[in-house]
């Protein structure tokens, strides 16, 4: 690196700090605070280690407090320059996250979590593209390019094999790009990991096509990966209006609905606790497969005598009738189905194809919670059985299954998360080769225990204090990351941290929707690069120098 290049990236000098609160850096006089952005990376060259960190705050300081009370006249450019270099200065807060140190016999070790801080007066500079590539790696058979750091062109990559090993979350308020982010992550899983996905697509954005924020149509997973994705549909009429043919039309039989399903729908069906208990009694009376059909028949016949004979209060009976009638309005529900949806989904997943279940015109949250929970419970039980059989027979286990759900707080709130299959999957992590990708704009509504089990979190802008606290619970450097998160732009930026990344990073999300982006995101993806300049990858020794 030439002297001029070093001057271009030099920022300042470490003057104080701590490991938990971060280090304070006095900016060089030639540096303007207006050029410094929260979320950018810096490198600090210490006596024995090279530190990588993130800028978490920018402030203005004065050597003499009197300058704050009686500001000098800076109309003269010469005076302004003298004051800026002596009386006042800029300061940034940096959170050290990784270090590279010399190993035995002068060999370099890979990046390690920072457990100390650089010494006083250590030099601080903007992280170079080579620094970022060293930390996050280059796109290869396992790593997927998700975006670029602020004010840089270097690609930030996520290790997708590590990502799918745990449940993960995508959070952000409405309109921040969660759907685009999720679509990119699902593509990355298909390209870079041995996993298949089951996606409960409430808003019809992941199958054949979706829409951009400018209401422009963009390709979905089926168009990009026709041989690796199957689209299932709850609403055949919706498919006909869009002139798209699904691989399978899902129907749910009354005989498949169990009392546990109604328990989870209690809130959305507006059922009382007594009404839910009555459901269990009805199942005992009529049998698990006949109870719903027989109960609906009683409603049709206006049979109040049955309720009295079984000690069900009239108010409870009316409440139950109103709730179950909502389910009866769903046209995808029929008395009995011949072609079982669970078996079909497992067949596709077993052949290595991901399944997108589109809800079409059924945007009712009751339909979403019912179908997602009902299918997932049965799929999980059969998938677990396959894993157990493979383990006992010492044969190949099924591929990792990632289940994607939207409106996650509906399944994982503190009141019911312990009862839902999704809560169980989150707590078991990857015990049976099943993990989740949860998407939500209200992370504060998700059980804290579930949030703590999410391996990697991708967070777009959140403006609710409770939501911000929820996504950062238990994270090292919470206060500093909170500051970074609050400064995200409303679209196409995200803070990513967790198991699949060596350190937190703020990225500008990569493009999706152009012909060039489709070419890169297609089945094969781009050819892995040596680096942005076509050179061989720099060694750690080169980076140290």
pLDDT (tens digit, 9 = 90+) per residue, 254-272?
Answer: 999 999 889 888 888 899 9
228 and 282, same domain (yes or no): no
- Tokens at residue 534, please? 């076509």
E-strand stretches of 40-86: 41-45, 49-62
pLDDT exceeds 70 at position 321: yes
Residue 446 resides in a domain: yes
Residue 45 resides in a domain: yes
Helix (H, G, I), strand (E, B) or coil at 229: strand
CB hemisphere CA count around 192 (13 angstroms): 30
Predicted pLDDT at 105: 42
User: What single-letter DSSP state applies at residue 235?
Assistant: -
353 and 373, same domain (yes or no): yes
Q: Confidence class of residue 73 from pLDDT cuts 50, 70 and 90?
A: low
Examine the fold and report which residue of 267, 300, 333 is the final residue of a domain before the chain moves on. 333
Predicted pLDDT at 87: 75
Helix (H, G, I), strand (E, B) or coil at 493: strand
Examine the fold and report which residue of 70, 103, 136 is the final residue of a domain before the chain moves on. 136
Residue 394 resides in a domain: yes
Phi, psi of 410 (to 5 degrees): -70, -25
Residue 543 resides in a domain: no
pLDDT exceeds 70 at position 545: no
Residue 269 resides in a domain: yes
Residue 406 resides in a domain: yes
Examine the fold and report which residue of 136, 152, 174 is the final residue of a domain before the chain moves on. 136
Comparison of pLDDT for 467 and 288, the residue scoring more:
467
CB 327 within 8 A of CB 370: yes
Residue 536 resides in a domain: no
Dihedral sign of CA atoms 532, 538, 542, 545 in order: positive
Rounded-to-integer distance, Cα 279 and Cα 295, Å? 9
193 and 67, same domain (yes or no): no
pLDDT exceeds 80 at position 2: no
pLDDT exceeds 70 at position 80: no
245 and 259, same domain (yes or no): no
329 and 258, same domain (yes or no): yes
Predicted pLDDT at 111: 83
74 and 112, same domain (yes or no): yes
300 and 356, same domain (yes or no): no
Average pLDDT of the chain, as a whole number: 85
48 and 119, same domain (yes or no): yes
pLDDT exceeds 90 at position 278: yes
pLDDT exceeds 90 at position 348: yes
pLDDT exceeds 60 at position 490: yes
385 and 467, same domain (yes or no): yes
pLDDT average, residue stretch 339-355: 92
Structural domain tally of the chain? 3
**Of 70-79, 133-142, 525-534, which gets the smallest average pLDDT?**
525-534
Within a 10 A sphere around the Cβ of 152, how many other Cβ atoms? Answer: 18
Predicted pLDDT at 507: 92
Nearest 5 degrees, angle CA 74-CA 79-CA 80? 55
Domain that holds residue 122: 3-136
Query: Mind giving me the DSSP string for 119-132?
Result: PTT-EEEEPPHHHH
Predicted pLDDT at 273: 93
pLDDT average, residue stretch 162-175: 93
Residue 461 resides in a domain: yes
372 and 324, same domain (yes or no): no
Contacts for 78 with CB less than 8 Å, ≥ 6 apart:
none
349 and 431, same domain (yes or no): yes
228 and 206, same domain (yes or no): yes
């Amino acid at each position: 690196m030439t002297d001029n290049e070093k001057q271009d990236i030099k920022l300042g000098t470490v003057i104080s700090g701590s490991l938990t609160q971060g280090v304070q850096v006095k900016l060089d006089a030639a540096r303007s605070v207006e050029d410094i952005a929260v979320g950018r990376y810096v490198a600090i060259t210490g006596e024995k280690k090279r530190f990588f960190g993130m800028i978490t705050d920018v402030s203005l300081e004065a050597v003499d407090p009197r300058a704050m009370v009686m500001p000098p006249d800076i109309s003269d450019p010469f005076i302004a320059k003298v004051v800026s270099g002596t009386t006042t200065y800029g300061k940034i807060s940096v959170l050290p996250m990784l270090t590279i140190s010399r190993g035995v016999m002068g060999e370099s070790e890979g990046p390690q979590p920072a457990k100390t801080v650089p010494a006083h007066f250590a030099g601080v500079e903007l992280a170079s593209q080579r620094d970022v590539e060293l930390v996050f790696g280059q796109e290869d058979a396992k790593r997927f390019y998700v975006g670029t750091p602020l004010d840089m062109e270097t690609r930030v990559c996520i290790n997708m094999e590590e990502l799918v090993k745990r449940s993960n979350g995508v959070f952000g308020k409405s309109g921040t790009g969660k759907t685009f982010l999720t679509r990119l992550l699902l593509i990355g899983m298909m390209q870079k990991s041995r996993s298949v996905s089951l996606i409960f697509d409430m808003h019809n954005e992941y199958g054949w096509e979706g829409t951009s924020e400018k209401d422009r149509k963009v390709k979905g997973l089926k168009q990009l990966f026709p041989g690796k994705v199957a689209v299932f549909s709850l609403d055949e009429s919706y498919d006909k209006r869009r002139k798209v043919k699904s691989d399978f039309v899902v129907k749910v039989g009354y005989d498949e609905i169990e009392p546990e399903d109604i328990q989870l729908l209690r809130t959305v069906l507006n059922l009382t606790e007594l009404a839910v208990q009555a459901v269990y009694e009805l199942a005992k009376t009529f049998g698990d497969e006949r109870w719903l059909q027989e109960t609906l028949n009683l409603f049709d016949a206006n049979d109040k005598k049955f309720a009295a004979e079984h000690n069900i209060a009239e108010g409870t009976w009316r409440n139950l009738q109103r709730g179950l009638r909502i389910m009866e309005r769903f046209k995808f529900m029929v008395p009995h189905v011949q072609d079982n949806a669970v078996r079909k989904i497992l067949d596709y997943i077993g052949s290595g194809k991901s399944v997108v279940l589109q809800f079409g015109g059924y945007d009712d949250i009751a339909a979403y919670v019912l179908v997602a929970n009902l299918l997932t419970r049965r799929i999980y039980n059969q998938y677990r059985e396959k894993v157990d059989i493979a383990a006992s027979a010492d044969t190949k286990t099924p591929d990792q299954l990632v289940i994607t759900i939207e409106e996650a707080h509906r399944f994982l709130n503190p009141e019911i998360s312990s009862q839902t299959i999704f809560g169980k999957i989150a707590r078991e992590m990857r015990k049976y080769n099943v993990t989740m990708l949860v998407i939500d704009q209200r992370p504060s509504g998700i059980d804290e225990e579930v949030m703590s089990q999410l391996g990697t979190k991708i967070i777009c802008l959140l403006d609710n204090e409770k939501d911000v606290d929820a996504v950062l619970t238990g994270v090292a450097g919470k206060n500093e990351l909170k500051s970074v998160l609050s400064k995200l732009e409303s679209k196409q930026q995200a803070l990513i941290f967790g198991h699949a990344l060596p350190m937190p990073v703020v990225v500008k999300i990569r493009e999706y929707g152009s012909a060039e982006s489709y070419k890169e995101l297609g089945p094969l993806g781009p050819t892995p690069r040596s680096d942005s300049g076509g050179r061989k990858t720099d060694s750690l020794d080169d980076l140290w120098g």
